Amino acid sequence: MATAPEPGKSGPSAQLVKELRDKTSAGFSDCRAALIEAGGDIEQAIAVLRKKGQVAAAKKAQRATSEGLVSCYIHAGGKIGVLIEINCESDFVARTEAFQGLCHDVAMHIAALNPLFLRREDVTQETLDNKRATYREEAKATGKPENVIDKIVSGKMEKFYEENCLYEQHFIKDEGTTVKELVDQAIAKVGENITIRRFSRFKVGEMDGAAPASLASEEPDAPAPAAKP
């Protein structure tokens, strides 16, 4: 629950700033400024930080990212592993704790949720055509009119992107934040453009480092997603 700034003080309390930092991993000054702008409301402050991260990411989107790290995550028991390359603008930022933490968190997320694509633009046309055809047949079976069927298909396609494209998935540690928003927050924090370039996920017994979509929900040994509130 949000806590208002302490009476008689010009800004939010240190405890409130710490609470926001724990939730967002943003810097102290950024959290303090966001709380002041939000009138001490934690949820509004999170929205302020998210918006600022998106603005910062948009400003830096065209800047080249030729540095970065190849990072890995091996899940307990050695049954699932992820290799990921995340790029930034300088080797200095690549060596920071914040950037390395981002690499670890995204790799762990991939181990748990098994995205099949990086962005929605990467989904093959064949996959899109097959999904739309399937969703349309399912919607037609309900007997609804064509205009409603179109809306149903559109909604299911958005859900498909959300569940299968890394940038659009909800982050395993915070379901209120997408992976893209997580990257945007990191961009705002380190002051450089950051892009996820590629990843491979391996599970013992599978081929080509990728699991079929039908197996994504059949992996009890993967890290568990965060519980919904």
Six token digits for residue 90: 């300088």
Both 152 and 177 in a single domain? Answer: no
How many domains does the chain contain in total? 3
Taking Cα atoms as reference points, which of 24, 70, 19 lies closest to residue 188? 24
Both 24 and 41 in a single domain? Answer: yes
Both 103 and 202 in a single domain? Answer: yes
pLDDT at 59: 65
1 in a domain, yes or no? no
Asked if residues 38 and 170 have their Cβ atoms less than 8 Å apart, the reply is: no
pLDDT at 215: 37
Q: Which residue has the tokens 């979509």?
A: 213
Low-confidence ranges of the chain (pLDDT < 50): 1-9, 209-220, 227-229
Q: 179 lies in which domain range? A: 67-120+165-215
Both 112 and 172 in a single domain? Answer: yes
Residue type, 216: A
- End-to-end CA, the chain: 13
Asked if residues 211 and 82 have their Cβ atoms less than 8 Å apart, the reply is: no
Both 196 and 100 in a single domain? Answer: yes
Both 112 and 28 in a single domain? Answer: no
Taking Cα atoms as reference points, which of 214, 210, 224 lies closest to residue 113? 224
pLDDT at 156: 95
pTM of the entire predicted model: 0.68
- What CATH number has the domain bearing residue 85? 3.30.479.20
